[in-house]
Structure formats: structure tokens, C-alpha cells
Structure 1
Amino acid sequence: MKRVLVVYYSQSGDVRNALEALTAPLQAPDVEISWLRIDTTPPYSFPWGPREFFDCMPESLNGEPPPLAPVGLDQGERFDLIILGWQVWFLSPSLPIQAFLTASEAEVLRGVRVVSVTCCRQMWQRAYARVRALIARAGGRHTDSIVLTHQGGSLAGYITAPLLMITGRRAKRALLPAAGVARGDIDALGRVGKRLLETRDRWAEPEPTPLLSDVAPVNLNVGSLLPEAAVVPPMEAIARLARRCGRPGSLARQPVIGLFVLMLVTWLPVVLLASALLTPVARVVFARRLNRYVRGLRP
């Protein structure tokens, strides 16, 4: 019997839907699947209030998650494969995922192959690097990533992703695409799940190698990487300043949070437009090295 643990956090439903599509082909007599939805204490609401949404930015970037809610995982329980479903908050892993990966419960990853499934807008590369580092710190063997990005390009996601989180609505708006991951992209994960089932004899191999690189290749979007590189330093500076001013919910740090929102409204669109102009050149110069990095190889 092969044992699979699906660890996830989902608010809008995209991550849960993606994991259900991925694991549907794993329903086999010799495969046992356990689901573990994680959360924090206190939990985050959905949809968010605008103030609550932006107020979690400092902790997301600073790596200061709230306590993990009890998960009911038996100590010492072992699995052959762990699938981790997560999302990106402010260019960082969501705080519930950070809470799990830094808690004692992450011991379940030790020595086990980990496949990560990400649902996010196009700017995910920094968060991906952090998740991979946290999995390694917990002793997990991260071998494969599946990345599903929101509909539309970077400029569209810049608008539709916050609207989804604050309103909970996905419908198309004027010239904007529907928010979130396209249903077709989620349904396509069935093919990836079939590959996982076919390779189940390799899940526990001593020196694990990628299983899904040909059916679920992860390619860096250079057009999104450039704006990430431009906005991360000021975002980190604002996050540190906000944290010095107070803890989450503190009125004292709200002017700093307002400065962050002002940066999003004024500077980030300029960065995205400039990146769109530079992307063709950057793709030629850097794409091969960056994609090797995503696959965990030496650049």
C-alpha cells in the first residue's frame, strides 16, 4: 500500500480544486490518500476586508506566521508521497503554509518526496524559492512543482487577484479576464495525476529524481521575474518598518501600510510596463539559466 498525504491551504477554492483534479487518478486499490487542511490561530477570513488584506503583508514578507491550528496528525506517521498545495501572498508563501512548514508538524516531511502545487498570479518566483528552502529545512525531498497561474497576463492579475481576495467574485469585468485559475488548467492536472500513479514504485526511491518534468514543466516567466526583482527591495523595507511600528492590527503601523498601497498603485504599474518592454531581451539572455534554477539544477 502506497500512502499519500495531501497538505494544503485554500481560500478561494483554486488550490483545493487543483489538488482534487491531480489526485483523482490516484484512486487505486494500492494507494491510500489522506487529506490535511491546515489553518492558523486565529484563521484568516475570505473574502478579506481591505485593511486586513494589506495588513498581513509585513508578516508574509518577514516570515512571521501566526501559530498553526491543531492538525490532528499522528506523531510518527509516515507517508510515501506528500503533495503540498499552497498559494502566494505578497510575493511570499501564504502565512498558513509558512506556519506549517516552520512548525513541529512539518517533521512529517522528513525523508519524504514532496510535490508542490501552486495556484497564484504570475509573480511567484520568490515565494517558490522560499517554499523550497522551507521544505529542505524540514527534511523533505522536493522534486517536482506544478504552477497554475491566474488568467490573463501580469497586468490583469495585478488587478483581478486583489479583487478576488477582497470581494470573493471571479466574474469577468469589462476588459479584464475572470479572476483565478482557469477551470481548463485545473482539469488538465488529471494527466499529471496519471503520471504520478504510473510512477508510484519510485515515490520512495533513496535518491529521488523528478517524476513530472515532461508532463508538467515549470518555466519561469521572465516578464514576471523582472518586476519581482524591482519591487522586492522596497517591499521588504516597508515590511520591516511596519513591523517596527506594531503588530498585526495595530493602528500605529497603518500609515506604513498606506505607503505600501500607494507604491502598488503608482510605481508597480510603471515597473510592469517597463518589464513588458524588456522581456524579449531578458528571455533570450536569461531564460535557460532561470529555468534550470526552477528545476533545482545548478545554473
Structure 2
Amino acid sequence: MGKKILAVYFSQSGQTRAIVESFLRPVVADGNEVEYLQIKTVHEFPFPWSIPVFFDTVPESVNIIPTALEPWQTKLERYDLVIMGWQPWNLSPSIPFSSILQDEKFKSLIKGTPVITISGCRNMWINAQEKNKKLLQAAGARLVGNIALVDRHLNHLSYFTIFHWLGTGRKDRKWGIFPKPGVSEKDISGASRFGNVVKDYLRLNNWEGLQQDLSQIGATPVKYSLMFIERKAGKIFQKWVDLINKFPQKRKNILIVYKYYLAVALLVASPLILAVDLVFFRPFSQKKIRRQIQYYRGVEYKERI
């Protein structure tokens, strides 16, 4: 008899929905039934976005402050597996996604239930997933798998292309010369390979070893340089948010300064910091680095690593 699966997702451009559908294709073909639940918020997050409106999400996304959800319901009170499609905003889970994870009705629904998270993002997802892990743990859910699909282009290039996509709504080449933004169509269609692994575990209802098998086929790419930048940036983002919270009347002006700071930090400062790290620190921290990478590829949650 097929299993009952709930696929929960938030998607502005349609990319996350396409990823979830591709991932679940082999699971459905194996005789399981999937119900989709789209996360909708009272305050709509527009797409395409203007840059100022996008940056205005920084304080609430970083501090995972929930926004009001539109009423929702599911056909069942309990599922064999819950799939959660999401995306990072500002090195944190998107506001709609973190909001449903803090919704009491939803927390009750997923309590004690196996959950697999699957995301589409530019290239940095580990900070956001750590917040997801903490929220899922607080809800009593069992995170058994995680998959992150990323833009494979260089960090500097994808910085420009993602804002082109957000600002225009077009997933095409900026000026006809930059690469296409977001997760590639090849990788979206290729998400089904992860579903092929999951369906075998679903048959047995035994999730031990799932994440290891998913990671072996590329489910959680962790690149040292990006991990290094993201770990540093997460702390800096929080300081900017703390500043905004201290001077809320100056929020708009602080966010303007933050926008330019972010560009300089990513495009100029981060290569220099990485060069210093490469020479003076990385050679003497290999054991620690391997431990960190292994942790982020997994589903366990720790306050400190």
C-alpha cells in the first residue's frame, strides 16, 4: 500500500515548486500519494522584486520573525513523510517558510513525522538550514534528509545574476553575456535522482542512513570557501539587524548603507580574507574543517560545532 506524503512549499518564481515536483516524480511513480500545500502569507512578497523591497526583508528573515499566514488545511491529520521546499533569504530561511515552521497548527501536524527539506538557492544555504533544524527540532519533527540545489556559477557572477532575476522576473542572461540565474534546468530535472533514493527508504519506513546516501550523490554540496564566507557573514548580518532594531526610525537609511556594504564585502573584501585564510589559517585547521563540512552535510542539529 502506498504511503501518504505532504509536500509543503513556498515559491515566488515557480522554481521551488518545479524542484519539489521533479524530486517527487519517482516517489509518485512508486505508488505513493502526494498532497501539495503551498505556503501563502497575508502580506504578499512580490515577484519580481525591487531591490529596496528585497532588502527590507533583512531584519525579519535574519531574526526569523513570522508573518501572518493565509488559512490553510490538509486532507489528513498525519502523513508518512513531509517534504518541505524552501529557499534562503539573507542567509536565513525565507520569511514565509520560517513562518509556517512556527505555526502551532503546522507544528502539531509534523510532530513525530519524518521530514525532508529541499531547497533551491544561489549558493549559500548552511546558515539558513541550521535555523530550519532548530525550528524543526522545536516542533518535534524528525529531520531525516536534506537536499540543496545551487547555482553552480562563480560566486561573483551569481551575485549579479540573482539580482537581475529578482528585479526583472526573467531567468535569462543579463545583457546577453552573464550566465542564467538560479538552479539550472538540468539540475532541477535531475532532482529526481534524490527521489529515487528516498522511495526505497519510504517503502521500509526506515530512515537510518538516508542522508548519507543522499550526500554521496551530491545532495548537500559544501564548498569550503563559501562555508567560510557564510559563517563569517551570518554573524555580521546579525549585527546589522541589531543596529536596525536599536534605531528602528533609521531602518531605511541603515538598509541602504547595508546594501552597499554587502556588495563591497562580497566582491572586494571576501577574496582578500580568503587569501589570508589560505596562507595563515586553513593549513593548520584541516581536521576542524572536515568536521564542519561533515556536520553541514548531515541532518543533526547542534548549538555549537
TM-score by length of 2: 0.87
What's the CA shift for 1:169? 1.7
**Unmatched 5+ stretches in structure 1:** none
Aligned alpha-carbon RMSD (Å): 2.3
What's the CA shift for 1:208? 4.5
Counterpart for residue 288 of structure 1: 290
- 1:28-39 correspondence to structure 2 within 5 Å: 28=29, 30-39=31-40
**Unmatched 5+ stretches in structure 2:** none
Q: Distance in 1 between the 2:22 and 2:273 partners?
A: 34
Q: Deviations over 1:174-214 (max 9, x none)?
A: 552110100111111122212222222233x4x74425343
1:48–1:167: 8 Å Cα contact kept in structure 2? yes
Specify whether residues 288 and 234 from structure 1 end up closer, same or farther in structure 2 by C-alpha distance, changes over 3 A only.
closer
**Counterpart amino acid of residue 293 in structure 1:** Y
2:198–2:210: 8 Å Cα contact kept in structure 1? no
Q: Distance in 1 between the 2:230 and 2:30 partners?
A: 44
**Counterpart amino acid of residue 31 in structure 1:** N
Counterpart for residue 24 of structure 2: 23
2:148–2:221: 8 Å Cα contact kept in structure 1? no
Counterpart for residue 6 of structure 1: 7
Q: Distance in 1 between the 2:217 and 2:233 partners?
A: 32
Q: Distance in 2 between the 1:70 and 1:209 partners?
A: 36
Counterpart for residue 258 of structure 1: 256
Q: Deviations over 1:220-258 (max 9, x none)?
A: 211111112332233212112223443xxxx74111111
1:151–1:178: 8 Å Cα contact kept in structure 2? no
**Counterpart amino acid of residue 115 in structure 1:** I
Specify whether residues 50 and 66 from structure 1 end up closer, same or farther in structure 2 by C-alpha distance, changes over 3 A only.
same
Counterpart for residue 77 of structure 2: 77
Counterpart for residue 184 of structure 1: 186
- 1:155-194 correspondence to structure 2 within 5 Å: 155-173=156-174, 175-194=177-196
Tell me the SS of whatever aligns to 1:169.
coil
Q: Distance in 2 between the 1:13 and 1:112 partners?
A: 26
2:85–2:118: 8 Å Cα contact kept in structure 1? yes
Counterpart for residue 146 of structure 1: 147
What's the CA shift for 1:110? 0.9
1:122–1:149: 8 Å Cα contact kept in structure 2? yes
What's the CA shift for 1:173? 2.6
**Counterpart amino acid of residue 20 in structure 1:** E
Q: Distance in 1 between the 2:185 and 2:42 partners?
A: 31
My pick for the range that moved more, 172-181 or 34-43, is: 172-181
Matched, 1:95 2:95: yes
> Number of residue pairs matched?
292
Counterpart for residue 52 of structure 1: 53
Tell me the SS of whatever aligns to 1:243.
helix
What's the CA shift for 1:107? 1.9
Q: Distance in 2 between the 1:232 and 1:270 partners?
A: 18
Counterpart for residue 135 of structure 2: 134
Tell me the SS of whatever aligns to 1:68.
coil
Specify whether residues 296 and 202 from structure 1 end up closer, same or farther in structure 2 by C-alpha distance, changes over 3 A only.
same
My pick for the range that moved more, 88-97 or 65-74, is: 65-74
Tell me the SS of whatever aligns to 2:117.
strand
Q: Distance in 2 between the 1:25 and 1:146 partners?
A: 16
Matched, 1:234 2:236: yes
What's the CA shift for 1:164? 1.4
Q: Distance in 2 between the 1:292 and 1:145 partners?
A: 13
Q: Deviations over 1:57-98 (max 9, x none)?
A: 011111112112212236x71001111100010000000001
What's the CA shift for 1:287? 4.1
**Counterpart amino acid of residue 253 in structure 2:** P
Q: Distance in 2 between the 1:208 and 1:111 partners?
A: 15
Specify whether residues 113 and 282 from structure 1 end up closer, same or farther in structure 2 by C-alpha distance, changes over 3 A only.
farther
Tell me the SS of whatever aligns to 1:220.
coil
Tell me the SS of whatever aligns to 1:27.
helix
Aligned-pair identity (%): 27
Q: Deviations over 1:91-137 (max 9, x none)?
A: 00000001000111222111111111011111211111111111111
1:5–1:36: 8 Å Cα contact kept in structure 2? yes
My pick for the range that moved more, 65-74 or 80-89, is: 65-74
Q: Distance in 1 between the 2:289 and 2:221 partners?
A: 8
Following TM superposition, where does structure 1 have runs of at least 4 consecutive aligned residues deviating by more than 6 angstroms? none
Q: Distance in 1 between the 2:278 and 2:139 partners?
A: 35
